[in-house]
């Protein structure tokens, strides 16, 4: 079946702009995760949803970062007033607990 | 707290030779352990996992990994590497406690297989 999809694949934002990144998980996967991958590093956990409930947002780096999954399917990661340090690849993953997480292709965000 | 170390930034091998990518972990209890591979401009692709049972785990594309509790290691291996195995490999750990959903990744190892 279809895997995890993310859009846009690439986003260039000027410093101070707001951005919204979308994730479509695998159908039926109740768990959804967002990770941030800086250049040359492994992914770092941002936040976790179980259905529509955001159970862990401990990895969000600041209050400029906000994630939602209102109907327990599609999720959006929003970054307000982007800064250069927000430049990274943002990965979305979904799973059917307790099985492994399946990752999307990521959105590469570049803040200029 | 859980963490993963991949001591080698790069591994270079000739096609047909054995490939080993090292991983050590730190976790409070018994871990879940994973290997993922990342090709350029693509997301992470699941290779294999250790949950319980046999310490030798077999995964996709001829890869296997050996869980060694005493050495807290989970090295990835392939008996005969292919040029197409050239990619970025990540080891990851997940605890079995209340935060058993959260993956912690190593920094990654770039594998180059030369023809």
- Return the pLDDT at B70: 92
Q: Give the residue on A whose Cα is nearest the Cα of B4.
A: A42
Residues A68 and A57: beta-carbon distance below 8 Å: no
Contact A100, A3 (CB under 8 A): no
* β-bridge mates for residue B65, sequence order: B57, B76
pLDDT of residue A2: 80
Backbone phi, then psi, for A41, in 5-degree steps? -125, 165
Please report the pLDDT score of residue A25 as a whole number.
97
* Integer Cα distance of A57 and A60 in angstroms: 6
Average pLDDT on B22-50 reads: 91
Q: Do residues A102 and A95 lie in contact, with contact meaning Cβ atoms separated by under 8 Å?
A: yes
* Phi, psi angle pair for B83, to nearest 5°: -55, -35
B89: left (phi over 0), alpha (psi -120 to 50) or beta: beta
For chain B, say whether A101 makes contact (Cβ under 8 Å). yes
CB contact under 8 A, A101 and B103: yes
Burial of B9 (0-12, 13-18, 19+ CB in 10 A): exposed
Chain B CB within 8 Å of residue A57 CB = no
Q: What gap in Å lies between CA A2 and CA B108, rounded to an integer?
A: 27
| Chain-chain contact of A105 with B41 (C-beta, under 8 angstroms) | yes
Q: Is the pLDDT of residue B40 over 60?
A: yes
Q: What is the predicted pLDDT for the residue at A1?
A: 55
- Give the pLDDT of chain A (112 residues) as one tens digit per residue: 589 999 999 999 999 999 999 999 999 999 999 999 999 899 999 999 999 999 999 999 999 999 999 999 999 999 999 999 999 999 999 999 878 899 999 999 999 9
Q: How many angstroms separate the CA of residue A42 from the nearest CA in chain B?
A: 4
Instruction: Please judge whether B101 and A97 are an interchain contact, meaning their C-beta atoms are less than 8 angstroms apart.
Output: yes
Q: Inform me whether the C-beta atom of residue B46 falls under 8 Å from chain A C-beta atoms.
A: yes
Q: Name the residue among B64, B65, B67 with its Cα closest to residue B52.
A: B67
Task: Determine which of A108-112, B37-41, B67-71 has the lowest per-residue pLDDT on average.
Answer: B37-41
pLDDT for residue B99 is more than 80: no
């Amino acid at each position: 079946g279809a895997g995890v999809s993310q859009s846009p694949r690439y986003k260039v934002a000027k410093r101070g702009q707001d951005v919204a990144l979308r994730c479509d998980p695998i159908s039926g996967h109740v768990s959804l995760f967002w990770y941030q991958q800086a250049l040359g590093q492994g992914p770092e956990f941002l936040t976790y949803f179980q259905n529509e409930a955001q159970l862990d947002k401990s990895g969000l780096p600041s209050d400029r970062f906000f994630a939602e999954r209102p109907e327990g399917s599609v999720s959006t990661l929003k970054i307000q007033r982007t800064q250069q340090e927000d430049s990274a690849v943002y990965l979305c993953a979904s799973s059917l607990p307790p099985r492994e997480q399946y990752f999307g292709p990521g959105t590469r965000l570049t803040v200029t | 707290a859980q963490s993963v170390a991949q001591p080698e930034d790069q591994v270079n091998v000739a096609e047909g030779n054995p490939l080993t990518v090292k991983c050590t972990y730190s976790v409070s209890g018994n871990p879940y352990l994973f290997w993922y591979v990342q090709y350029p401009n693509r997301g992470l692709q699941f290779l294999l996992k250790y949950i319980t049972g046999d310490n030798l785990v077999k995964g996709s594309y001829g890869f296997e990994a050996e869980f060694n509790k005493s050495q807290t290691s989970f090295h990835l291996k392939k008996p005969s590497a292919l040029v197409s195995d050239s990619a970025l490999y990540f080891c990851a750990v997940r605890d079995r406690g209340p935060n058993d959903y959260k993956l912690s990744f190593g920094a990654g190892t770039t594998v180059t297989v030369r023809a």
